[in-house]
Chains A and B, each alone.
Chain A
């Protein structure tokens, strides 16, 4: 391993970055999986709920639930990118700077 890499490994900021970013990434991944497989399980076992009309119209609960699943994917990526491109990249920049 070269010197820069060794310095990075010894830098507590690196451990902080990796710990924070991994925890964040896994939390969001699990959130996405719960939403998606929740939706699939509702489709498999909760057909009657998804087919229940909202109020007196014909629009069923399935429509907002499905659209929510799609929108949640976009929102979760947005949340990740916001924090990663700001806070994490700044920390990363400092780590690379200090490794020189």
Chain B
């Protein structure tokens, strides 16, 4: 899925070449920085701003801890988050360091192509709203497995859903941890090891003490910081051109080595199969990410769930338009000389009469947005944006960890292992222990994968979410003839085929494992594995005539009524 997994700060030319030829640049998926980076001088203004963020969020965690008593508080913030707040938190989960630095870097290098990605990331949201958001809210309690297993045998479906969740969370976490270490080394001048440990320890703190309430507020604060910072940058850039996009584009075309080509689609999307496959993985993957689905249980009812998606779509769309402007700003700030005629953000000034080389940007193309922040806002603002990038990773990993912990405690421990005969206090204890384990594990994995190429892992997480979690979830809500057997076999087929095709494809087989040719031709197996999962669910359900299957079909009606009307749905906590 991600062929440009070779993006290296140390070898920006290779990174650029890989990026231009790839369908999905690594940076658009994973945390921003890949490969070896040089440690920078300690950046004190960034560190101080980050410390302020940490103090603020720890204060919130302390406040949240006192309000987190029941399981509902821990997993779902008591159901008391408003639609607007949840919209910000969802947008925060989505506006990762990767989408900010990665898409801005992509626009800086390729212009228009960056917009194609932004669009792909966004359009899954309306579909989630129209088809699944309110049903999910009406049927679920704490995890999406509550919905997927609603009328089925608990043990097999919950086990499969928990495996899907844990696989998604693990791959996502590794990519985030490694990205965090690299980014922080670059921005703050801290050791990789120190950076990874800071992220791990803080996220354990947020989640174990503050549960979903703290995790949500950390995400909201970060979303507001990122949106404000990006708005300020876009404003400053447009202000230089009298708020005329045409004037800005004109200046960028004049200075960019690719000239007018940056205003039209380039080589990013070559064949329609790849394009559609990628689009499907992005769209349905979003609707199968456990840490995103979990957010729908934090609001009071279906009405608030709908509002959440409306606000989230607005914030995410606005943010992507900002990153597009920031990417063009980066062209103008980095490739043009400053007032003194120097090129402060390039490793080498262009020869007289020649255009600047894109790949000569210090730190690689993913640093384009950060340099732009420096150019438009000075040292202090540069520190602020660096701190926001760190906060972003922290907030995202906290959400992932909570989703992983609840898959273990709520699905595996409480439902599968204890068959529902478990008290809340025990379940929460298991969840907190799991959080600590996941936290330590992610520090260890972060260290283990430091020098590995991990960018493909976010792609893997998306494909697994789209091919295993999403088909079961969707069919369980929409199709009355689905049975446990169909769900388990179809979901497993989706999971296995997605992983197999991705491993045999160009991303892993060729780029990571170093084989000469890929055994599967496409970067993104989404189109195929998603269809396999749906066909599997359909076939193994209609051929299932057991008594259990008959009962499950009969139970659809009651589920259907609850999903449509909210009759008997989980309400918000009293406090």
Contacts and interface: CB of A to CB of B under 8 A. Distances in A.
Interface in B524-567: 557-558, 561-562, 564-567
Interface string A34-48: 011101110111011
Given A47-B264, A71-B317, A37 B276 contact: yes
Interface string B255-279: 0000010011100111110011001
B254 to A, nearest CB: 9
A57 B431 CA distance: 58
Interface in A1-42: 1-2, 4-5, 8-9, 14, 17-18, 21, 25-26, 28-29, 32-33, 35-37, 39-41
B321 interface: yes
A89 to B, nearest CB: 6
A51 B263 contact: yes
Contact of B249 (A4, A9, A58, A67): A58
Interface in B334-349: none
B309 interface: yes
- Taking residues whose C-beta sits less than 8 angstroms from the other chain, chain A's interface range is 35 or more
Nearest to A2: B558
B265 A40 contact: no
B127 A66 contact: no
A63 B263 contact: yes
Contacts of B562: 5
A40 B250 CA distance: 25
B131 A60 contact: no
Task: Give the interface size class of chain B.
Answer: 35 or more
User: Dominant SS at the B interface?
Assistant: helix
A85 B307 CA distance: 9
Contacts of B119: 36, 39, 66, 69-70
B306 interface: yes
A25 B314 CA distance: 19
Nearest to A45: B272
Contact of B250 (A14, A48, A58, A81): A58
A25 B127 CA distance: 9
A8 to B, nearest CB: 5
A37 B313 CA distance: 18
A47 B249 CA distance: 18
Contacts of A32: 123, 126-127, 130
Nearest to B114: A66
B567 A99 contact: yes
B10 to A, nearest CB: 32
Contacts of A35: 123
Interface of B: 112, 115-116, 118-120, 122-123, 125-127, 129-131, 134, 245-246, 249-250, 253, 260, 263-265, 268-272, 275-276, 279, 303, 306-307, 309-310, 313-314, 317, 320-321, 557-558, 561-562, 564-567
8 contacts: A5-B562, A8-B561, A40-B120, A59-B245, A59-B246, A73-B125, A80-B126, A89-B303
Given A45-B272, A62-B264, A74-B310, 18 more contacts: A9-B561, A21-B564, A33-B127, A36-B120, A37-B279, A44-B271, A44-B275, A58-B253, A58-B263, A60-B263, A66-B119, A73-B317, A77-B310, A80-B129, A80-B310, A84-B306, A85-B306, A96-B565
Closest 9 CB pairs between A and B? A51-B264, A25-B130, A66-B115, A36-B123, A60-B263, A81-B310, A70-B317, A43-B265, A77-B313
Interface of A: 1-2, 4-5, 8-9, 14, 17-18, 21, 25-26, 28-29, 32-33, 35-37, 39-41, 43-45, 47-48, 50-51, 53, 57-60, 62-63, 66-67, 69-71, 73-74, 76-78, 80-81, 84-85, 89, 92, 95-96, 99
